[in-house]
Amino acid sequence: MGELQFLEKMLGNIIRPIIRESVEEVIPKYFEKKVQRRYSIKEFCEKFGIAESSFHNWANANGIERIKDGHNTYVDADIVDEKAARGEIGKYVHQKKKRSHKL
């Protein structure tokens, strides 16, 4: 019995630090995972003032990547906010064309 207890203690002293190091290394990485913010098509359209029916054409023209999650479509909120801050995308503003009044 003395040899068995000695071996258990030795193995415990060897294995315990290895497990502790592994756990201390893995656990913080698990909790550091960044949660991706997303806008649904409806939220995006409300924010930028475009119709939902024209969202995909507008997104293609402005280089907005879409994320599919089952039947739902989203856009990465961080990328959209960054592009909006740089002025690459913004609220739609209707441009009235001046008419020439020639008779």
Evaluated on CA atoms 35, 91, 65, 79, the torsion sign reads negative
Per-10-residue mean pLDDT of the chain, 103 residues long, equals: 76 80 74 77 88 85 86 90 81 66 64
pLDDT tens digits for range 45-61: 888 888 888 888 888 88
